[in-house]
A and B are shown apart, each in its own frame.
Chain A
Amino acid sequence: MTTATGQACVGDERRAPMPDEPEVMVYEPEQRARLGVLQCWCLMASRLVRSRELVGRLFRRDVLAATQHSVLGLAWIVISPLVGIASWVFMSRAGVLSPGDTGVPYPLFVLIGATTWGVFMAFFASAAASLTSNGSLILHARFSHEALVTQQAAQALVSVTANLVVLMLAFLLFGVWPHWGALLFPLSLVPMLLLGTGLGMCVAIFAVLVHDVTKVAMTLLGLLMFLTPVIYAPDVSDPRLQQLIWHNPMTYLVAGPRDLLLAGSMGHAQGYAVSAAAAVGLFMLSWRLFFIAEQKVVEKV
């Protein structure tokens, strides 16, 4: 593709090769779909880098807006997980729950699983809402819409970080000393983060077209959580359920980081590696889909 002046351009944007030369934007039907995979990812990455200031401003906007007219403000980020711990402690002490041998106090076990699952859900929900919650903005200004996903992900990251802090406090509270391998725990959550964002971006595109998609996805993920050893140990007595659990890639992404935190190594490292690779692949594909498809759906926001 070339511009009228004969200069090469990529996608719908091209940065000026010379500092004084103005940027040239070319808009054609399906131009993004025609890009090669590598070319597409390079362009997506460069758009993301260029919109970093906007991401910062949008993030600041939402944080400031959330803390205005609020007495507790950002404290809500830690209040929610603390209330979560309290409820699990209560149910455990009341003998309502009998999850089997978890190796550590059950509330702590659940909190680790819930934090890991929470990473997935936080990034999924934020990415899924990125387009529908910014419809007016999208229809009135031209900017990289990936900035909306990134900005929402940044908010989710803050929330997840707070959850990790609460998790560390819970370790102190229960007198359990995490293994040194726990230092890798945040890194081991990255596949969950990417999987959540990737699925969220897919849902974001379809949710613009059919609003039910988000609700359906949230319901299915709610069911998936019960097929994933988030609040129970993966070794269950029912063989059929056992089979389902071990065929669920989410099992490895939840159990792996938990093993790392408690034992310093992953019990099913191979399963984790395969699931993590699949999560990274899905994220890259979803990002590309988002990049190609968002132009088609933007008018329907």
Chain B
Amino acid sequence: MVDPCVASVAGAGKKFCAVQPHSMYYGIRDVCRSMIGVSAEPGVLRPHEFWAVDDVTFSLKRGERLGLLGTNGSGKSTVLRLLGGIYQPDRGRIEVRGRVGALIALGAGFHPLLTGRENIFLNGALLGMTTRDIKKRFDDIVEFAGVGEFLDAPVKTYSSGMHVRLGFAVAIHADPDLLLIDEVLAVGDSVFQNKCIEKVLTLNERGTAIIFVSHSIQAIERLCLSGLLLNRGRQVFLGSIRECIQRYYDDIGRTNLDQPHHPKAIGIGEAEISDVRVFQAGGDPCNRNIEAGQDFTIQFRYAFSRERSQAAQVRVWIRTHEGRDVQRLIFQEEAFPGGQGYDNVKIHRLERSGTVSITVRKPRLFPQSFCVDIAIAPIDRGVHLGGLANAALFNVIPPQSGHSYFEYGHTTVTDFDYVVALS
């Protein structure tokens, strides 16, 4: 006998309206049409409407684990809500067999004034459990949540971690056939996160199918066997989780590099930075995608507007796309007087103008987008002679080899090995 699918999604679509007045108008129109038995034509897009989920098709059998990947706004949470029966599809068909456990917002329905005990029964009822079910599992829920001594205290006195633990404990003990997890494992401490993942995996061994949404690629890689990649609501890829993650990084890389970026001149105008490029060492200088773990080169032109009386220092910052500093690469024309300043500063003489190539060796950058800032300053003064903020964007893409992404998780390494060449 063929094992029936726990979840079958066929060409599912969900549309939303981006403009509030239109949304109100369409809502009233649709409700009025349904009152008189006229179809609201849900499959047709009207002005200002867009498909948040568009033609998504997949199925999931008992014991399977699927990760949903995609950038913000790609439709992951909407897919979960469609599967959870919270939203109605505007196109296609969704069939779910068995009880669905939706870990979409832990503790939804918790009342802050009620005790933990009362909230367990309330939350359980919301998840479709009967009072008898809840009583049977009550001790397990309390033990898992670890809130025993606070059970009769109002939930508003709980820490956020306790709140989440209690919500997770109730949801996980509802014996779901399909478990939908939306980012909720990102909350709580690492001990609790591991405990949750273990519990999810235990349920999975018993046959519960899992659909997992997270921006934590480590968690996705650990928990999921297959992946579904969404881009602006459309299904881009469905297959092995490794390939899915690779496609995901290709995707975000393209998205970030496609975004317009605006370099901004900084300093007092006595030095100029131009023609900034970042590329894989020995590769195409026009290709800004760098394979994780591979050497890469930051290349730029510099020019001083007049003769200098002081030695200069060149500072290059590498930041994540969100603005977090990852690394600072520095070289200067002469050593600091008295040995002060940065350790191991590289010494290179600058001409009136020229090209600098800094090659970073074996960087441990996690696949994502980065940004480069460059500045030239006198070594004994803080003022910038000139420079370029947001000078260049580049992407670190997943390694082509079979390494795990965990190996590239250190984005705050501060001791990159690099060499400087001038021409």
Contact = CB atoms under 8 A, between A and B. Distances in A.
Interface residues of B, number: 55
A286 to B, nearest CB: 10
Interface string A183-227: 000000000000000000000011011100000000000000000
A29 B43 contact: yes
A298 B86 contact: yes
B126 A143 contact: yes
A173 B81 CA distance: 57
Interface residues of A, number: 48
Interface in B41-94: 42-43, 81-82, 84-94
B334 interface: no
Given A12-B85, A24-B96, A28-B89, A296 B34 contact: yes
The interface centre, meaning the residue of B34, B42, B111 with most chain A CB atoms within 10 A of its CB, is B34
A295 interface: yes
B85 A137 contact: no
Contacts of A140: 86, 102, 104-105, 108-109
A292 B102 CA distance: 23
Contact of B27 (A4, A5, A61, A300): A300
Given A58-B122, A142-B85, A209 B31 contact: yes
A98 interface: no
Contact of A296 (B4, B40, B108, B109): B40
B100 interface: yes
B336 interface: no
A296 to B, nearest CB: 5
Binding site secondary structure of chain A: helix
Contacts, number: 147
Given A137-B126, A140-B102, A296-B40, A33 B111 contact: no
B102 A141 contact: yes
Interface stretch (B127-135, B229-237, B297-305): B127-135
Contacts of A26: 93-95
B28 A298 contact: no
Contacts of B109: 137, 140-141
B16 interface: yes
Contacts of A28: 89, 92-94
Interface string A57-76: 11011001100110000000
B113 interface: yes
A210 B93 contact: no
Nearest to B88: A295
A293 interface: yes
Contact of A30 (B16, B39, B81, B154): B39
Interface string A137-148: 111111100000
A256 B105 CA distance: 49
B97 A209 contact: no
Given A27-B82, A296-B31, 19 more contacts: A22-B97, A25-B97, A26-B93, A27-B93, A27-B96, A28-B89, A53-B130, A61-B111, A137-B109, A140-B86, A141-B108, A141-B126, A206-B28, A206-B31, A209-B24, A209-B27, A289-B35, A292-B35, A296-B27
